[in-house]
A and B are shown apart, each in its own frame.
Chain A
Amino acid sequence: MSTTKKRLTAVVVGLGMAGTLAACGSSDGGQGSGDSKTVTLVSHDSWAVSKDVIAAFEKQSGYKVDVLKDGDAGQAVNKAILTKDNPQGDVFFGVDNTLLSRALDNGLFQPYEPKGSDTIKAEYRVDGDRHRVTPIDTGDICVNYDKKYFADRDLEPPKSFDDLVKPQYKNLLVTENASASSPGLGFLLGTAAEYGDNGWEGYWKKLKANGVKVVDGWEQAYNEEFSGSSSGKKAKGDRPLVVSYASSPPAEVLYTKPKPTTAPTGVAEGTCFRQVEYAGLLGNARNSKGGKALLDFLIGKRFQEDMPLNMFVYPVTEGAQVPPDFVKYGPQVKDPETMDPAKIADHRDQWVKSWTSLVLK
């Protein structure tokens, strides 16, 4: 018996050593359970911030920020809801207008009105006086086009939803599955906003007749099918129109070396749907004081101006400057389609279902 024990001990010690090896360099603990000096931000995979900006917050507030990226946007929200009784952090960032109702209906957040929230542009505020969520950034889901394709053929790129069903754009557009991808859903909502509850299905029938291709996710649509992105070129993508973001052209420029003088892609500004992302204090946050400080910081000028080049989104506060590269290579969409989160909540599932049987089957 004792020999077996010895053997086990040896193995356990070995395991422990491997553990130390694996853990070397990582800050242990995370979660900040009970530790009021750490504030934990739960977000999705796209969360990004400049190091010096977060360091400035840590210095000024005295809190250390721990970030937990929890999958893509939808997944992160679902996980936060699942764990709301014993949350993984204090603040959740990254629920957008298409999923906001799911978060609010499940009681994910507790009210807090951050300092400086009067600078948030009125059009982005929701939830009236309850202040359960705070808008942090916006972005537009729009059809992107391959400039070269249209220049080579002397063809005007499409400008609006109406254009996309015209014969000259037959078999050119690739979009994402609205039930699986947030740009796909955004595009569907855009058409629903444009053509109304009764008109959007007719529009999609025409779009289908005009040869729209549907793939499952943004990665495939943009990296494989789209002829305008650098990755799509390599993959010999042959669709010059793709549903992506208004910020994709600047991203194409900034992530290409050497930096080209103009973006290889453009945005059809009449096809845009505006996404707004919100953050809120989690219902059972352990460090709610730190969480509040973090929310104040997220709508502060420093962070708002840092966002565009990190997450490719636009600020929501008055007076926050958008970086020049962003203005130069990407459009500031003037008149995007929008929709009240409550209306999205009421119709989302039904629309996606109808869309699925209409377009995919």
Chain B
Amino acid sequence: MAAPVVFFAVFFAYPVAAIVARGLKTDGAWHFGRIGEVLAQSDVRHVLWFTTWQALVSTALTLLVALPGAYVFARFDFPGKQVLRAVVTVPFVLPTVVVGTAFLAMVGRGGLLDELWGVRLDTTVWAILLAHVFFNYAVVVRTVGGLWAQLDPRQEEAARMLGASQLKAWRQVTLPALGPAVAAAALMVFLFTFTSFGVVQILGGPTFSTLEVEIYRQTSEIFDLSTAAVLTLIQFAAVGAILAVHAWTVRRRETALRLVDASVTARRPRGAGQWTLLGGVLLTIAVLLVLPLAVLVQRSLDAPGLGYYRALTSEDGGVFLVPPIEAIGNSLSYAVAATLIAVLIGGLAAVALTRRDAGRLVRGFDALLMLPLGVSAVTVGFGFLISLDEPPLDLRSSWILVPLAQALVGVPFVVRTMLPVLRAVDVRLREAASVLGASPWRVWREVDLPMVRRALLIAAGFAFAVSLGEFGATVFIARPDRPTLPVAVARLLGRPGDLNYGQAMALSTILMVVCAVALLVLERLRTDRTGEF
């Protein structure tokens, strides 16, 4: 318990507090009056309103589109299912700079919708909402689908046998069991869309702004740190509330349900209705998720003889001090380090949280661990800059800063994956082993480890993929001679010329493939009960 607490205190709470204090404290006195002043501005209230309603609509839309997908993935068996499940997860771990560009090409001018029906959605709120569905589809499929696959279908069948209609059986048997998972997924999607940054910046144009975008503007462009600090606090409060509700639904979900092995519940679709459903879901995935990714690939290949890929190995452009291809190695090694940190910290936290004597305080920590997902990267980045600058914590120019920042977003995934599995380990097994004379270390090795090994690997894999795609914090601290893939892509996009743009697309494609491979490996490791992600 101590390690995760210290980790979060030093690398999250302290930097964030430092930057907020910089904004709200002058000459040693706090100016909390600023909060009222900022809230009184109509611009700020407008931002708050937009942030909230677009998140609500995005969440509803995501559920609407993704719940059939969750059902199909849970209940049907079809060739390529594992690959497809990895593919739909790719958007979730890809940096928005990359996909925003491709998404724009789809719903913007000359995009598919434009060519078919002359519909263009760029700089409308629809582009934002669709992109949110694109990014969060996997959250619903994995969270809800994961549980759905383990619900015993015989319960519903029994209800029907007793005379309930199909709808009634579903409403009274399946829905209540799924409810908490749907709520948890909805809250996660709400959290991600409430704090949406890249999507809104790229697709919304200058007219739409979320709280997160506004914090970025105030910090990075206007340099009004006190307004930024107030906005950060507002976002903090909102995210805290979302997480508290989330923690509550999660606990409710971990109540006993009769779960069965996922592999026995899925079967080939039967009848026209089921085939239509499957077809519809596959079509949705193809249009909404695969197409934007395909646009990236197509653009990366748009030079004779893989020209853009070959250009990655030379350093002519001077955008970097090294050939862009080296970004792959950088990304991988950072991600490995970040994964190790995330698994260590997240694993220890999960173990502490499962202890039976864990009180309310510890369980509150559960929600706190999720906070980094909802706090703006620019706040954390600026916080790092002013707080980690003196020995013994002079880390500003150290390579470890990047994996540390990436681990902050990886830890919540590790915790969420490990917790349910650890909680499922019967304590009596541990007690029995202890009684028979096993040391605590041996108990862990012989009892816990075999049961959590796969979950641990999955957690590591997810942390790895998330680290690979992390952009917001990395771009703040990555050293120029060691850019990561997302950082390299963003820099290449920032320069004119065919070759730079092409290289950006090629690097994006590589990033996408690496993420997809990592996720595909995860699919092979899936266990019958693997938590939320």
Q: Interface of A with B (CB < 8 Å)? A: 3-4, 6-7, 11, 14-15, 18-19, 21-24, 26-31, 33, 45-50, 67-69, 71-72, 74-75, 78-79, 81-83, 86, 88, 102, 177, 179-180, 214-220, 222-224, 229-231, 234-238, 244-245, 248, 251-252, 254-257, 309-311, 349, 360-361
Q: State whether the Cβ of B318 lies closer than 8 Å to any Cβ in chain A.
A: yes
Top 6 A-B pairs, shortest CB-CB distance: A255-B497, A236-B110, A30-B397, A230-B498, A48-B318, A231-B501
Q: State whether the Cβ of B399 lies closer than 8 Å to any Cβ in chain A.
A: yes
A29, B397: Cβ atoms closer than 8 Å: yes
Q: State whether the Cβ of B357 lies closer than 8 Å to any Cβ in chain A.
A: no
In angstroms, Cα B441 to Cα A86, docked, is: 45
Name 8 A/B residue pairs within 8 A (Cβ), A-sorted: A4-B440, A82-B386, A220-B202, A222-B496, A231-B501, A251-B496, A252-B497, A256-B499
In angstroms, Cα B519 to Cα A255, docked, is: 35
Pick the interface stretch among B148-156, B182-190, B250-258, B330-338.
B330-338
Contact code string B381-402 (vs A, CB < 8 Å = 1, else 0): 0100110011000101111100
Most chain B CB within 10 A, of A6, A69, A217, A361, is at: A69
B8 to chain A, nearest CB (A): 17
A179, B221: Cβ atoms closer than 8 Å: yes
Q: State whether the Cβ of B235 lies closer than 8 Å to any Cβ in chain A.
A: no
Q: State whether the Cβ of B240 lies closer than 8 Å to any Cβ in chain A.
A: no
**One of A69, A224, A231, A349 near B108 (C-beta < 8 A):** A224
Closest partner residue, chain A, to B389 (CB atom): A86
In angstroms, Cα B302 to Cα A230, docked, is: 11
Closest partner residue, chain A, to B223 (CB atom): A78
Closest partner residue, chain A, to B386 (CB atom): A82
B206, A216: Cβ atoms closer than 8 Å: yes
User: Which B residues touch A360, using CB under 8 A?
Assistant: 206-207
User: Which B residues touch A361, using CB under 8 A?
Assistant: 207
A18-B336, A177-B206, A179-B217 are known contacts. Are A255 and B479 too (CB-CB below 8 A)? no
In angstroms, Cα B333 to Cα A236, docked, is: 37
Q: State whether the Cβ of B494 lies closer than 8 Å to any Cβ in chain A.
A: yes
Within 8 A of A (CB), among B335-387: 336-337, 340-341, 344, 382, 385-386
A18, B340: Cβ atoms closer than 8 Å: yes
User: Which A residues touch B382, using CB under 8 A?
Assistant: 79, 82
In angstroms, Cα B479 to Cα A244, docked, is: 27
**One of B221, B389, B440, B496 near A74 (C-beta < 8 A):** B221
B397, A214: Cβ atoms closer than 8 Å: no
**One of A75, A220, A244 near B496 (C-beta < 8 A):** A244
User: Which A residues touch B390, using CB under 8 A?
Assistant: 86
Q: State whether the Cβ of B101 lies closer than 8 Å to any Cβ in chain A.
A: yes
A256-B499, A360-B206 are known contacts. Are A224 and B440 too (CB-CB below 8 A)? no
B332 to chain A, nearest CB (A): 9
In angstroms, Cα B204 to Cα A7, docked, is: 49
In angstroms, Cα B101 to Cα A74, docked, is: 23
Within 8 A of A (CB), among B202-257: 202, 204-207, 217, 219-223
Q: Interface of B with A (CB < 8 Å)? A: 22, 101, 104-105, 108-111, 123, 201-202, 204-207, 217, 219-223, 299, 302-303, 307, 317-319, 321, 333-334, 336-337, 340-341, 344, 382, 385-386, 389-390, 394, 396-400, 403, 439-441, 475-476, 479-482, 491, 493-502
Closest partner residue, chain B, to A1 (CB atom): B440
4 other A-B residue contacts (CB within 8 Å) besides A251-B497, A311-B318:
A48-B319, A71-B476, A251-B496, A252-B496
A71, B108: Cβ atoms closer than 8 Å: no
A19, B481: Cβ atoms closer than 8 Å: no
User: Which A residues touch B319, using CB under 8 A?
Assistant: 48
A230, B497: Cβ atoms closer than 8 Å: yes
User: Which B residues touch A31, using CB under 8 A?
Assistant: 396-397
User: Which A residues touch B440, using CB under 8 A?
Assistant: 3-4
B318, A69: Cβ atoms closer than 8 Å: no
In angstroms, Cα B398 to Cα A122, docked, is: 41
Most chain B CB within 10 A, of A102, A177, A252, is at: A177
**One of B334, B344, B439, B500 near A3 (C-beta < 8 A):** B439
User: Which A residues touch B321, using CB under 8 A?
Assistant: 67
Closest partner residue, chain A, to B204 (CB atom): A216
